Amino acid sequence: MNLTQEMQKFAEYHHRNQRRDFSGEPYRNHLERVYLKAMSFSDEIPGVVSENDLDEVGAIIWGHDLIEDTKKNAKVITYDIILSEFTKGVADGILDLTNVYTPDNFPDLNREVRKQKECDRIAQIPNRSKFIKLCDRFDNITSYEREDPEWGVKHFYLPETELLLTALIGVHTELYNSIRAVIECAKRGR
């Protein structure tokens, strides 16, 4: 079994009771869509020069929400747990994609300030991780548009996505432009 397959099993297990907002679908469906989107550009992923690199990227994608989205589980997944089960590259990639500026970590900062700081942090992560962030955001924004077109506007998701895109310019033009198109469509009310 390769790293991607091992992480898929690990992530599916730890997200097994989680459901997506609005649709109620199993959380693993989101992880799979992000994986499939990324693999559709497998020859264009920054920093991937070998099958081992691609395998590591696959593992990061399947595990990208483990640290921030399993806090309500009986077993909270941490960087150290991931590092003990997988490679340092996988653990570091997942950490790159984990929100740092959360209300729990920074209760005195308002949402706007936290999102700006998170955007500044994301601008510093490796392009490989930024590429995965684009795939993740693409799935999130298209899912929300499909499930509840007003959600993004009402809950700041569209403006926060626009802010995030400032940290992701130049990583992958097609994905970037696809996200911009969804935002523009939502702003026009379809």
pLDDT at residue number 28: 95
For the chain, list the domains and their CATH numbers: 3-187 (1.10.3210.10)
Distance CA 167, CA 82 (A): 26
Query: Contact at 8 Å (CB) between 101 and 122?
Result: no
Eight-state DSSP code of residue 42: G
pLDDT at residue number 76: 86
Q: Which class for 177: exposed (0-12), middle (13-18), buried (19 or more C-beta within 10 A)?
A: exposed
pTM, full prediction: 0.93
Structure tokens at 143: 């899912």
Q: Which class for 16: exposed (0-12), middle (13-18), buried (19 or more C-beta within 10 A)?
A: exposed
Considering only CA atoms, which of 126, 141, 135 is closest in space to residue 172?
135
Distance CA 89, CA 104 (A): 26
Low-confidence ranges of the chain (pLDDT < 70): 71-74, 145, 149-155, 189-190
Distance CA 177, CA 9 (A): 32
pLDDT at residue number 98: 97
pLDDT at residue number 10: 96
